[in-house]
Amino acid sequence: MFEFIYNILENILNLFVSEFKFQNYILTFIAGALSAFIVINAVLGGVLAAIWGERRLLGKFQQRSGPNRWGPMGTLTSVADAVKVMFKEDIVPEEADKYIFNIAPLLLVVPVFIIFSVIPFGVGLYAVDINVSALFILAITSISGLSIICAAWASANRIAIFSALRSVAMLISYEIPVGLSLVGILLISESMSVMDIVIFQKVPFILLQPVAAFVFFLGSLAEINRTPFDLTEAESELAAGYQNDYSGMKWGLFYLGEFAATIAASSVFSTLFLGGPNGPFLPGIFWLTIKVVAVWFVIIWIRATWPRFRIDQVLNLAWKGLFELTLVNIVVTSISVIIWTDSDPNRLLYIALFNWIFTVPFVFIIIRLLKTKDYVEIKEPSLIYPVGSEIPKFEKVGK
Amino acid sequence: MSVKSEPITINLGPQHPSTHGVFRMRVTFDGETIIDLEPIFGYLHRGSEKLAEERTYTQIVTLTDRMDYVSSMLNNQGYILALEKLAHIDPKPRGVWLRMIASELQRIASHLVAIGFLIQDLGAWGTPLTYAMREREKILQMFEMLCGARITNSYLRPGGVFMDAPIQFWDALSEFTEHFPSKIEELEKLLSSNEIIFSRTKGIAVLTAEQAINASITGPILRSTGVNWDLRKSDPYDYYDQVDFNIPTHTAGDNYARYILRVQEMKESLSIVKQCVEKIEPGPVRPHHDETPNLVKPPVGDCYSAIEGSKGELGFYLVSDGSISPYRWHVRSSSLINLTLLKDMLVGTLFGDLFVTFGSIDINMGEVDR
């Protein structure tokens, strides 16, 4: 995208200014700003659509109509919400640390948008191509934890502190399996650049790395604080968690950041595991959109159906389940990569088979190990205590 | 390096999404673990018991509606039974069968609310709750046919019910009894095999039978500890001795037992409703006012009468001084007494278990504070 805009601008400028000394720097800046503008607006539009879509879908799951007042099928509801949020009074608590309180929402929103800079929307349609962009994504996503702890600490609210501590504990735990689950991909594609990974994926990586995809999906659910890992803003426990004291547009930014993070997580998952913009017939951008919407739908589906875990269970799952799975996956993938080198024509097929055979059983083993211990249900009431020994009966006296 | 840590005390409520009303807890946490908990009641106190001293006996029925507003019919029944005992009123059979149908339907509705909100507290956002509410809606529509009101029914009168059920009520009832078992199965399919629900509820906030009996806890919570105690069996009122039903019990005494017990109790209630429909016969639904005057004047004396409400033993104590309004009216509300062991159940568990346990106790603040 950047090169495309840069070339157009250069051609236009060459018509008027033949010899301009600093035109490279200026052009780079303008082209960069333009591509950022396009990406950010695409994501913002996506967020508005996602808010509407999520509410509408949840309505369908819950056998009600969902938003249906503004615009056809309620499509303008999120626009109306955005306008309302902008005009609401901005309240800062007296005991709040004002600077940190104000900067926290931005800290959540900005990294999410930065992630989109390395996502290829089509083959060749990307804002920037960094040669370590997979690592870049992992690094940028952890900033959201900083934002949450800033917000909670600055708003001087005890419930918010709970939320922030949970968030940080989860982020630290899930960074590890998420990061390690990508190692398999990097080993097979032999590159850390998302662009190279996308080009490599004639076969989507979810077929070559099923366990890594599973771990990455659960891990990204935890990192964007979605059900069943929505402990940071567990509504029934912590009310709104770290955003308790926020109002107006700052709260709106948190909301925006969360929904954008959902889209970002679905985009990253579809880019790394579902082949991104690769697909027959349609242009890449359509394929990416279809895949992102599919992943996003699964996230909503989970939200509509599942209860949430408790904090100790969440951490247990990360350290006792997903971490081991990623280790197994790395070992198995390394062996398969060593055995079947580039020269082998059926390399990917063998790697996929090897992976399925040796990693998927571990998922079931882990599930069995982490399963809740079922207690033996005693059918007959115990006779230890006097009242329950038999059905007691009163004698009716008089009327 | 040593890190200094200290317990943190939080006020949860009275304004909180899942305190089921205006309930307040002062909870002290050590990290995420609860080390102390103090329930604070009284935010919904409306002085029902005092108000009753200024009202006639029939008017008090409206006050009982507003106590536990998700099981109004059961409250009506409990109060009317106490009044009938005090004033020596003979109920009419059709009226009794009708109020048994109504109260068992109300028990189903109340348990549906309990299950729905328990799963809501577990974090399943809305879907199980709307599934439960959808079934409750059908029951409320039937109540609307019976008495014109959905929540605050005031359907019962001394000696029977306010009016006979219309024809469409019986159609709706037969449709409901036909379809409801499949809806319970649907709810069970959604919830009862979910690993997250197992892990969140099994073995959490365990109550032993001794503890429960010592704190005079009743209802599903007592039965979940293995004690086979149900006033419909042990002290049958109305015509419960003429219908055949089981009392489901569970021995675990944890959150899951309390949840699954309510599901089983709904099935039993449905079978009671079916038997009542078979046994009901035409006739007057309440005594003519020649037999029982509309302005009831019980003889001087007092009485205590209790029914098995949806949440436990719902007792009503009435003292009459021979006038048209009671000298004293006291309610033994099961919600309040079931809440007394909250601290014993919760100390040592985590923050996440707090509201799950709270939801599994199934209280209603309208009844706790009256």
B227 vs A58, A387, A393: nearest CB: A387
Q: Does A77 touch chain B (CB under 8 A)?
A: no
Within-domain flag for A229:
yes
Asked if A237 lies within 8 A of B233 by C-beta distance, the reply is: no
Return the structure tokens found at A395: 């004698």
Higher pLDDT pick, B204 / B111: B111
DSSP string of A180-202, one letter each residue: HHHHHHHHHH----HHHHHHHTT
Within-domain flag for A59:
no
Distance from C-alpha of A387 to C-alpha of B252, rounded to nearest angstrom: 17
Residue A245 CA: distances (Å) to CA of A163, A240, B50, B224, B229 = 13, 9, 40, 40, 47
Q: What is the pLDDT of residue B244?
A: 86
Return the structure tokens found at A380: 């007959």
CB B286 within 8 A of CB B157: yes
The boundaries of the domain holding residue A231 are: 85-370
Distance from C-alpha of B37 to C-alpha of B192, rounded to nearest angstrom: 30
Q: What is the pLDDT of residue B249?
A: 82
Q: Does A65 touch chain B (CB under 8 A)?
A: no
Asked if A234 lies within 8 A of B352 by C-beta distance, the reply is: yes
Residue A267 predicted with pLDDT over 50: yes
Within-domain flag for A14:
no
Q: For residue range B332-342, what is the model confidence (pLDDT) as tens digits?
A: 888 888 888 88
Distance from C-alpha of B320 to C-alpha of B56, rounded to nearest angstrom: 11
Asked if B123 lies within 8 A of A228 by C-beta distance, the reply is: yes
Residue A22 predicted with pLDDT over 80: no
Residue A132 predicted with pLDDT over 80: yes
Q: Does B307 touch chain A (CB under 8 A)?
A: no
Q: What is the pLDDT of residue B248?
A: 83
Within-domain flag for A8:
no
Q: For residue range A60-102, what is the model confidence (pLDDT) as tens digits?
A: 888 888 888 888 888 888 888 888 888 888 888 888 888 888 8
Q: What is the pLDDT of residue B340?
A: 85
Q: What is the pLDDT of residue B163?
A: 85
pTM: 0.84
Within-domain flag for A151:
yes
Mean pLDDT of A48-55: 88
Q: What are phi and psi of A254, to 5 degrees?
A: -60, -45
Q: Kindly list the structural domains of chain B, giving each domain's residue range(s) and its CATH number in brackets, ordered by start.
A: 44-342+352-369 (1.10.645.10)
Return the structure tokens found at A7: 């070339």
Triad B268, B274, B277: Cα angle to 5°:
145
Asked if A235 lies within 8 A of B227 by C-beta distance, the reply is: no
Q: What are phi and psi of B315, to 5 degrees?
A: -110, 145
Distance from C-alpha of A98 to C-alpha of A91, rounded to nearest angstrom: 11
CB A269 within 8 A of CB A217: yes
Q: What is the pLDDT of residue A376?
A: 64
Within-domain flag for A240:
yes
Q: For residue range B2-21, what is the model confidence (pLDDT) as tens digits?
A: 788 888 888 887 888 777 77
Please list every residue in chain A whose beta carbon sits closer than 8 Å to the beta carbon of residue B305: none
Asked if A237 lies within 8 A of B85 by C-beta distance, the reply is: no
Angle of helix A2-16 relative to helix A23-61, nearest 10 degrees?
140
Q: What is the pLDDT of residue A389?
A: 45
Within-domain flag for A2:
no
What is the count of structural domains for chain A?
A: 1
Q: What is the mean pLDDT of chain B?
A: 85
Mean pLDDT of A163-173: 86
Within-domain flag for A6:
no
Higher pLDDT pick, B342 / A16: B342
Mean pLDDT of B286-290: 81
Q: What is the pLDDT of residue A395?
A: 56
CB A352 within 8 A of CB A340: no
Return the structure tokens found at B134: 């959808």
Mean pLDDT of A340-355: 78
Q: For residue range B68-123, what is the model confidence (pLDDT) as tens digits?
A: 888 888 888 889 888 888 888 888 888 888 888 888 989 999 998 888 888 888 87
Q: Does B210 touch chain A (CB under 8 A)?
A: yes
Mean pLDDT of B115-134: 84
Cis peptide before A228 (omega within 30 of 0): yes
Residues 6+ apart with CB under 8 A from B156: B61, B73, B76, B77, B79, B80, B99, B102, B162
**Which of A163, A166, A301, A310 to substitute to test the interface with B, most B CBs within 10 Å?**
A310
B226 vs A237, A371, A381: nearest CB: A381
CB B138 within 8 A of CB B109: no
